[in-house]
Homo-oligomer: A and B are copies of this chain.
């Protein structure tokens, strides 16, 4: 059947360089454990699997490693769109400014209420959703879940919701 995977956090602590540089001939010199697959390395791998598009709908986005993954996709020519909560764009450590500087299209909800979603869709096909905001506290400390699936009945409603939020909040 289609992909169905559940990841729980906090993640184990381990080096994630291999996710970014799978073909590197050099061993990583850092002091973290290597060769360990963790919830976080799985999450990064799902995001980095994008070949054509990544739509991110995320309440809080401060994680440098997730920012690195998104910027790597943008550099690779993947079409990235980010929808976020207006109140969280300016918080300390927000990666949204860096996204905009890199030329990524960012939109936000103008309302007074929270845009509390935490999901992403890879290539219009793979849904990543759950309780996890893209912050280091969520990844390294909190009890969190992330569900990854390519079940069409689950993915399509999220694609429609992203399109709706994106279109309604067109600044043009």
The interface of chain A, by Cβ under 8 A from chain B, is 1, 4-6, 8, 10, 59, 109, 113-119, 129-132, 137-138, 141-145, 147, 149, 151, 153-154, 157-158, 161, 165
Contacts and interface: CB of A to CB of B under 8 A. Distances in A.
A131 B157 contact: no
A interface majority secondary structure: mixed
A5 B151 CA distance: 11
A119 B145 contact: yes
A158 B157 CA distance: 22
Contact of A141 (B113, B118, B138, B157): B113
- Kindly list the 6 A-B residue pairs having the minimum CB-CB distance in the complex, ordered from nearest: A6-B157, A4-B153, A113-B141, A116-B142, A114-B142, A115-B143
* Copies of this protein chain in the complex: 2
Nearest to A3: B153
B114 A157 contact: no
Contacts of A113: 10, 137, 141-143
A117 B146 CA distance: 10
Contact of A145 (B5, B137, B161): B161
Given A10-B113, A151-B151, A154-B149, A131 B143 contact: no
Contacts of A8: 157, 161
B115 A142 contact: yes
